[in-house]
Structure 1
Amino acid sequence: MTAPVALTMGDPAGIGGEITAAAWLAARQGSAPGILPFCLIGDVGWAGGFGVPIEVIDHPAAAAAAFPRALPVLPMPLAAAPVPGQPDPANAHAIIGAIERATALAMAGAVSAVVTNPIAKSVLYAAGFAHPGHTEFIGALTGAPTPIMMLAGPTLRVVPVTVHVSLRRAIETLTTEAIITAATITHAGLIRDFAIPSPRLAIAGLNPHAGEAGAMGDDETRIIAPAIAALRAAGIAASGPLPPDTLFTPIALQGYDAAICMYHDQALIPLKTIDMENSVNITLGLPIIRTSPDHGTAFDIAGKGLARPASLLAALRMATLMAGRRA
């Protein structure tokens, strides 16, 4: 029998609890097929405040039996009672602890995958968190040297080469080697987790019109084109550098399986514009499966009954698909 999925609580002042409860209801009622049973790693009192029955378990093995009648919860106590919309650094230790426990369970094979509810990085930074975000933290926990963030929707997959840094810093740190690494790991992930035998990668340019032959910048000729040449020499179908302003048109989308983008917003703006609710954050290059909704904590609507679980359901469904393919 396939092991369940571990779902972390994220920031308890955000919408993680609401969308978790809604996702459990949808899965139990049959309106969200294709999802493995999941257990929430979080505070028991907090988890019980979202209008669904909960059942405290001491190991993920108990999740499948409990899931039809209640949301299974592996306890991770909070230091302070959470207030919707008001994040508290006092709870950073528990937020981080939930990620650590979920990752350890996945490494041990006790769960098939890890799905993470949204965190507020600034809250964790205030408590001394030393990683840019989930991707890098789980990479460190699993010993993965270069975890890669992919955002995947029904019609588009994107990978930013530089991620959670300023745009100025992204341009300064972009290298040929970083592009090659991101594309190579993406290529392997598309084969392993998406069952695409011969992936096609579109490599975006950095400047307008992909530099216009150097008239608008030479990053394409100095940095990006050499990476594409190396990828092709390694047998990877990589095209580019391609002008970013036409890379995401309906016709262009038919020509590749993933777009390798040079910075965060170049990748995420088109993906979220095309289909934010059904898109998923996936970490490639790990020995475990990790997915997440593609949105944040949404403190502005937390506790107001407005949060929608579509992206979390998509993340749970993607984790289930990936677990099946790896099995």
Structure 2
Amino acid sequence: MSDQRPVIGITMGDAAGIGPEIIVKSYANPDLYRYARAVVIGDAGRLAKARDLLGVQSVQIRAIETIDEAQFVPGVMDCIDLRLIPDDLPFGKLSAIAGDGAYQFIARAVELAKQGRIGAICTAPLNKEALHAGGHKFPGHTEMLAHLTGVEEVSMMLVAPNLRVIHVTTHIGIIDAIRKIEPGLVQRTIERGYNTLRKAQIQNPRIAVCGINPHAGENGLFGYGEEEEKIVPAIEALRAQGLNIEGPLPADTLFFRAGRGDFDLVVAMYHDQGHGPVKVMGLEAGVNITVGLDVIRTSVDHGTAFDIAGKGIADERSLIEALRQGAELASRH
């Protein structure tokens, strides 16, 4: 009988952060093998160092050159070893070498995904400053993946228990975000979210759209008519297409309503508007999905946590959940 579990590529992220530790902990968790056949794209020596500091002797790390060598055996971590990380690289400190490595791991994973060798990419966290120091000027994973896949525009969707949030803008300042928001971008963002939910078997997604200003402008009382100018035309166009959509709504009450189950998707206008409510639920609960790519990508919804890297206390639950959701999306792709 053939193994129906999808093949998922896990990228190691920044070697100085908690990525290696949460990957080792995930391989010690039986759930990983239940969801997928996983292969790591990273540095086998760094993963071995993380395993040793964790004292997880149940995980064997096996360096391989190509995915054809992967065995997908419980208790064995197959690692496509790019051998980019020096043995003496310290945990918890910014490193251009680690930043470049994080980029190279992603680039190899994208190649494998494009070739159809892996069904999805699941990413451990990278550090943006280290990424830039390593010569790769991207705001983060989302923009890097868009570049590597040749896609002009993608969206970030955060998924937590009882809440899904897609962002119209992400890694730009608030003033720039307000300038960038316009009806076409809002409409394309909502359409990407709608299509993703349809693929997840949600037949008629209930979508709610945040305003920009407090109280969604309150009929012009706050702001300069941004809701009417930048958001309302997109909502009207999508309603005309038959989408079940409400807004623009005040964000403060909207997220409460979404959390109790009134909506399947919230459309946030800028980074902190969407990230804050998700992260209040707990960093271990959130998953980041890049929407609009030709490949499936899920990620933990936390950073490299340099303050605890190398201490063996990082929580792997967000990575396990990201892997689960990546496997689920790959199975339906």
Decide: shared fold, TM above 0.5: yes
Aligned residue number for residue 139 of structure 1: 146
1:18-73 alpha-carbon deviations (Å, 9 max, x no partner): 000000000xxx3556420211111121111122320112322443x243131111
1:1-327 paired onto structure 2 within 5 Å: 1-2=3-4, 3-26=6-29, 30-31=30-31, 34-51=34-51, 52-63=59-70, 65-80=71-86, 81-192=88-199, 194-217=200-223, 218-250=225-257, 253-326=260-333
Q: Which runs of 5+ in 2 are unaligned?
A: 52-58
TM-score (norm 2): 0.92
Q: Output the CA distance in 1 between the equivalents of 2:64 and 2:258.
A: 49
Q: Output the CA distance in 2 between the equivalents of 1:128 and 1:167.
A: 26
Q: Output the CA distance in 2 between the equivalents of 1:53 and 1:251.
A: 43
Q: Output the CA distance in 1 between the equivalents of 2:15 and 2:203.
A: 40
Q: Output the CA distance in 1 between the equivalents of 2:320 and 2:31.
A: 10
Q: Which runs of 5+ in 1 are unaligned?
A: none
Kindly report the root-mean-square deviation, in angstroms, between the aligned alpha carbons of the 2 structures: 1.6
Q: 1:265 to 1:257 in 2, by over 3 A?
A: same
Amino acid at match of 1:234: Q
**Residue range with higher mean Cα deviation, 246-255 or 196-205:** 246-255
CA contact (8 A) 2:278 2:286 kept: yes
* Number of aligned residue pairs: 321
CA contact (8 A) 1:202 1:242 kept: yes
Amino acid at match of 1:206: I
CA contact (8 A) 2:33 2:74 kept: no
Amino acid at match of 2:111: A
Q: Output the CA distance in 2 between the equivalents of 1:74 and 1:113.
A: 15
The CA deviation at 1:126 is 2.1
Q: Output the CA distance in 2 between the equivalents of 1:221 and 1:250.
A: 23
Amino acid at match of 1:199: P
Q: Which runs of 4+ in 1 moved over 3 A?
A: 31-34, 250-253
Secondary structure of 2:285 counterpart: coil
Q: 1:305 to 1:321 in 2, by over 3 A?
A: same
Amino acid at match of 1:38: A
Q: Output the CA distance in 1 between the equivalents of 2:114 and 2:168.
A: 26
Secondary structure of 2:35 counterpart: coil
